[in-house]
Structure 1
């Protein structure tokens, strides 16, 4: 029937309590024997991985350069690593047997601003905010606001702020310290200079598929991501759950799946209790990675399902100074399969897919019905009424890869016993705040991997005042900030995990 429901089945309601405890076993005291002369630090770590069944996560670019020697006889792993990575410059963190190597840096620069449209004066949501030449960055929230953490070593790099349909804005970090508002200029061009329909849309889509291995990363990428879930019931916030997660992004060529691992997170379940039912979402961070419609070809891009869709060109748009084709799609008449409608952007020069914005149409929501819901109590009737998705890619060093994803799902809940009705809305956002090549012989997991049946909201950790440290995150929008102020008393540590 339909190829896959992966990106829509992530909304799974469990109306029962759940407890999940995440335990981290330190391996830094394990006795290690090693003897290596005149080798790079990365090669020495490779030896540690192969000979001692260890798991590491690190950015190869932060390691010391040059040749080093390492000799140890049943020495604690921490001491071995300190021979290579002095404590004044590096720190180690163990999460579920995974050793994360971090480089210590001076206090970073923290800046904030709002991005608006120069003509309309409206906020520009989901604009990318990145450090030039680096993978470090964040996005604006729905109010156009952002917070950015800039490492001291990168203060000589400009900050780039861009969004589809706007001229990219460039500003030095020092200048950004005194700026509270950034005006983005809408792109304008004369249509007669653009060949709007060189071929049929289906031919452009075929060229996109033919160029995937040319345009997208073919080496594993280790990505630091920020993930947030919010749930509303009848327009009121019921809770917010957010975390920094690591994602091992597998190559765009091959069948290997992406993996995500919880690093640190916190939750705020507001004081106003759930009415009648309590919503839990199963596998949120796991399933949002399945929104990668390039790696997991969705039906509107898959040649096997092309015949059930109708495609048409829309007005082209400018992205980073280049023309992008806008292709809209919807189900053909008399098609009874679950289908999406929406649009996607394809770069007119490279045929890379830049972004896709799509949703299930009403007919599909009726066909799928309660398949959204995994478990519900007796007397509860649910009906999905909206399911919208967005996925965006970015180009780094000539290759495109997953950048940010968003899901927005809404459904109606009816209690047959007391005839009460509620509207639930769940929104999930994920953005890549840093990425780099996954080390050659490093291994990811297996403990700590977030799986499809895990409940994100049940992950429990410790709370500390400077919770996010130097991680970049998505700034909460005004509605969420107001809800947090209204429902949370910081002195009581109601914000946890």
Structure 2
């Protein structure tokens, strides 16, 4: 069996992160009691009726929240103690809504959102004229706008390797994160609580892929905690920044800043930053790595490969979302994606693979010294497919102890969310 391993020199974690993404799905943010009501439905555009993905639904005055999947669907389990609550529904580019749980229709609720006002550029709040200085100030605000004390986060993680339309490797896990304050130089730590995997390496044309990073992969998309993985040596001088049309997230007005790296001698970053105009807080980022230079990209990603083959990435993407609670912003969701090609000598057709990963936070709690109880601390070099053996727990995953790669993370987390603590 031949192996391909991925590494990087300049930006180790960011390049690992490029390997992975999956569709954005739900998050549950507190331990659920045995008595709860489950609300299901869909969020759509009020004018076109199109589904709206990545919409956040949040129970006010709690840590319970969820996010719609790629079809705009959601599932929200609410304990009886929160039955008299209001749900806030918000997403970029739309007016937010506050709906009492009494108005949700069982078993399915359609929620319509109106597009945000188009006259945002006229809002006096948008006074910044220098995009680079705006980004510089936003990065400088991480010590005040984001968490300033260590927390323990619980998150659901999934990574997937796919050969064209065939899923050949899938791993899912519940992890604990020792999340460090944003002003601190300390790195976050991860522990593996429960995990399971399914692999079919025999269908990989004699190739097996080892993805280093595991759950650290989407964690390090948090560019406010780890700006060095995007802005080399923490400097933004090597980037061009330009304003695009502003947008809204609920009642917040956001600057939209387009950026691209100026040095194209090696694979280079480009994307968009969404910055709260009032507090200068990064609330979302979408970015990619240009890998048109195949030789440089191959040297950056591929550490070992079989003889007679050329391996290079052809597409990458990253996403990071933050949520606000009590005036502080938190890491909420991270994903990453890479598609690459394997060309074989003396073979007419190539092989194409997609590597995907996502992690979504399901609970926050104050830091405790025993945060790793019933869990095993892991390192950034973890290979999930190799290192999760022995973690499968039938009682935890339930009777549906089968990984279903064609199901969304919404379906996967449905099976276990009442057991996530």
Give the TM-score normalised by the residue count of structure 2.
0.81
Q: After the TM superposition, which parts of structure 1 deviate over 6 Å for at least 4 consecutive aligned residues?
A: none
> Is the alpha carbon distance of 1:177 and 1:221 closer, same or farther for their aligned partners in structure 2, counting shifts above 3 Å?
farther
Residue 251 in 1 paired to residue 181 in 2? yes
Specify the alignment match of 1:128 in structure 2: 56
Matched, 1:159 2:166: no
- Structure 1 residues 364 and 174, CA gap change in structure 2 (3 angstroms): farther
Q: 2:289 is matched with which residue: 360, 363, 366?
A: 360
Give the paired residue count. Answer: 386
Counterpart pick for 1:431 among 357, 360, 374 = 360
Task: State the secondary structure of the residue aligned to 1:153.
Answer: helix
Q: 1:318 aligns to what? A: 248
Query: Is the 8 Å Cα contact of residues 323 and 348 (structure 1) preserved in structure 2?
Result: yes
- Confirm whether residue 481 of structure 1 aligns to residue 411 of structure 2: no
| Structure 2 match to 1:205 | 135
Unaligned runs of 5+ in 1: 14-61, 63-102, 470-474, 486-497
Deviation at 1:106, TM superposition (A): 2.8
Distance 1:117 1:136, change over 3 A: same
Give the superposition deviation at 1:357: 0.7
Partner in structure 1 of residue 378 of structure 2? 450
The equivalent residue for 2:161 is: 231
1:252-401 matches, within 5 Å, as 252-269=182-199, 273-298=203-228, 305-332=235-262, 335-363=264-292, 366-401=295-330
Residues 415 and 327 from structure 1, CA distance in 2 versus in 1: closer, same or farther, beyond 3 angstroms? same
Q: 1:162 to 1:417 in 2, by over 3 A?
A: same
What is the CA-CA distance between 1:268 and the residue it aligns to? Answer: 4.2
- CA 277–292 in structure 1, closer or farther in 2 if over 3 Å, else same: same
Q: Is the 8 A contact 1:137 1:434 kept in 2?
A: no
Larger Rg, first or second structure (1 or 2)? 1
Gaps of 5+ in 2: 1-7, 21-29, 412-421
Aligned counterparts of 2:303 and 2:218: Cα–Cα separation in 1: 17
In structure 2, distance between residues paired with 1:445 and 1:181: 41
Give the whole-Å Cα distance in 1 for the aligned partners of 2:51 and 2:395. 30
- The normalised TM-score by structure 1 is 0.70
Q: CA RMSD in A?
A: 3.2
> Which residue is equivalent to 1:139?
67
State the alpha-carbon separation in 2 of the partners of residues 173 and 426 from structure 1: 38
Label 1:176 to 1:465 Cα distance change in 2 as closer, same or farther (>3 A).
farther
1-side partners of 2:103 and 2:398: how far apart? 25
Q: Distance in 2 between matches of 1:260 and 1:468?
A: 24
Matched, 1:5 2:12: yes
Residue 438 and residue 364 in structure 1: after superposition, are their counterparts in 2 closer, same or farther (change >3 A)?
farther
User: Which residue does 2:334 correspond to in 1?
Assistant: 405
